[in-house]
Amino acid sequence: MSGLLLCIGLLVIYPYYQYFVDPDATAYLTISRRYAADDFARAVNGYWSPWSCWLTALGIKTGLAAFPAAIIANALGALCFLFVSHSLFILFAIERRLQWALNSALAGFLLYATFKQTFDDLWECVFLLTSLRVMLSAGYLHRPRLWVLNGVIGVLAYFAKAYAFPFFILNTVCCSYFLSRLEDEKGNGWIKASVFPVVVMIVCSSWWIYLLYNKYGIITTSTAGTLNTSWYLVGHPLWADGIKALVPPIYHDSPYYWEDPYLVNGDTPHFWNGLRLFLLQIVKAGFNLLKMVKSMGEISAFMLATWILAWGVLFASRLRMVFDRKLRVLTLSFLLFPLGFVLINFEARYIWYMLPLSMVLGALAIQRFRENMGGYAKIVAAVFALSYLVWPIWDMKGMANEGRTEHQTAKKLKALNVNGSFTANVVYGPQMPAVARLAYFSGCRYYNMPHSDVPKQQLLQEMRRYRVKYYFHYQPNIDGNDFQFRDEAGVPFPEVSQGRLSGLKVFLVNP
């Protein structure tokens, strides 16, 4: 029933979110188109995971436009997320009425999640939750078929998002060990149940790792971890030699460099490269823990409480006696998952895996302590379920119709015969997603200007160096409607926008 509600909801709200293409999606959609066009050499990418791109490419090959194909693929992930979460609710004997409330709330949350992050996160959660569910199956430690199945699921999780590679290994080993202790297994039999799935996962993903090696010349499961941890530590990328005021797109038909940032990145300093960076990493880690609390609050007001409860279930003897023994395995996975994000910028979508696990913990606590709540038990249960919808409803209000302006502007640019490359008076910040969307919708190649203090002369030199055709000037009202973009001699470049673009002027620099 909740799956049907999710599908109907997606159809109803799609018109309001059909242009919500964030910077990440511009890269994913471009890569998906490359796969659909059999352009495999350029489609292989170490920064953006391939699973959702493959699914979207299949949709494109059937005749769908790229974004609807991506939403359909992500909606399928949302349905699978709902299914595996329900399986956990049943496994831990959540009461039927509470199951209905949680499934309904989860359907509403997934309605939001499908558009909030069009690629990777939902599918990663699906496969990792399925892996956890397999390990919680009866007799897992003695069923080699389940080990193989778990390893295959681990491969899919890695293809969905690179973070799953290290987490799957850690989670499988730790959960297998805990299961052996819970079942009073003697000896090291649990090692087979943990090592075998990991070997299957590594062997089955080796072909992809080889493709990454063939493209980048390094043995890696992903370039995302190296880049993200370095960028967050020093606060900005360090560009490759030769890159000055403008960062060029990766390929001649890339929207901008974000399609594969590793190819324009230079050094990647990390905390082990010096004492100053080591101390800075400690400060950043502490700040990230605070951001983790914030991210938990964006999922549910009860998320932090369930996180504290998880620690109690794992380490407090009184709570261990109250709950099912297998719940300790779930709580272990719940607590392990966010550890890797301590080194990078924290976002709520990174920990969606924890959402259904927190529902299980909260629902079991409500059931166990219902008598202590008296007549308020039903109210507490309802508030608990509804808490997962507060932030999605709030955030979806801001997301509604986002990108529509850029889509309409792109149409006007095409009508004005504006095509080719451009740069703009926008640096990384709130307006960056709008420029990225405009580049994607218009088909124009965006040369990103990462620094706001670039001297005019240097900017013009860079535009001539790369033969950048247009200069886009946003918010001309700040400078007055008479703003002109001029060369070194003070001669204005011709304006081709003809006053037809609201909040934007376009100047032809290199015909």
Query: pLDDT tens digits for 313-367?
Result: 988 877 777 777 889 999 999 999 999 888 887 889 999 999 999 999 999 999 9
For residue 25, which of 422, 440, 353 has the smallest C-alpha distance? 440
DSSP-derived 3-state class of residue 209: helix
Q: Which residues have CB under 8 Å from 210's CB, separation 6+?
A: none
Reported in sequence order, the residue ranges of 292-449 that DSSP labels E, i.e. its strands, are: 421-424, 445-446
Query: Hey, which residues does 471 pair with through a beta bridge?
Result: 423, 507
Sign of the torsion formed by the C-alpha atoms of 202, 207, 213 and 216: negative
Q: Which residues have CB under 8 Å from 228's CB, separation 6+?
A: 344, 345
499: how many CB neighbours lie within 10 A of its CB? 9
452: how many CB neighbours lie within 10 A of its CB? 10
DSSP state of 342: G
DSSP state of 507: E
193 and 329 Cβ atoms separated by less than 8 Å? no
462 and 246 Cβ atoms separated by less than 8 Å? yes
Give me 139's structure tokens: 């007799």
Residue 246, CA atoms < 13 Å, CB-side half-sphere: 26
Please give the pLDDT value at position 129. 98
Compute CA 451 distance to the chain's CA centroid, rounded to the nearest angstrom: 26
For residue 32, which of 78, 68, 80, 79 has the smallest C-alpha distance? 68
84 and 157 Cβ atoms separated by less than 8 Å? no
315 and 309 Cβ atoms separated by less than 8 Å? no
For residue 136, which of 418, 385, 331, 341 has the smallest C-alpha distance? 331
Q: Which residues have CB under 8 Å from 494's CB, separation 6+?
A: 507, 508
Q: What is the largest CA-CA distance in the chain?
A: 84
Percent of the chain with pLDDT over 90: 75
92 and 64 Cβ atoms separated by less than 8 Å? no
Q: Cα(51)–Cα(32) distance, rounded to whole angstroms?
A: 10
502: how many CB neighbours lie within 10 A of its CB? 12
DSSP-derived 3-state class of residue 277: helix
Q: Which residues have CB under 8 Å from 138's CB, separation 6+?
A: none
352 and 80 Cβ atoms separated by less than 8 Å? no
Q: Cα(447)–Cα(452) distance, rounded to whole angstroms?
A: 14
Bridge-based pairing of strands 504-508 and 470-474 is antiparallel
DSSP state of 389: G
For the chain, give percent helix, strand, coil, nearest 5. Answer: 65, 5, 30
What are the pLDDT digits (tens) for 416-446? 999 999 999 887 777 888 999 999 999 999 9
Q: Please list the ranges in the chain whose pLDDT falls under 70.
A: 184-187, 371-372, 374-375, 476-481
Reported in sequence order, the residue ranges of 308-436 that DSSP labels E, i.e. its strands, are: 421-424
421 and 469 Cβ atoms separated by less than 8 Å? yes
419 and 252 Cβ atoms separated by less than 8 Å? no
Q: At what angle do helices 354-368 and 377-386 cross, to 10 degrees?
A: 180
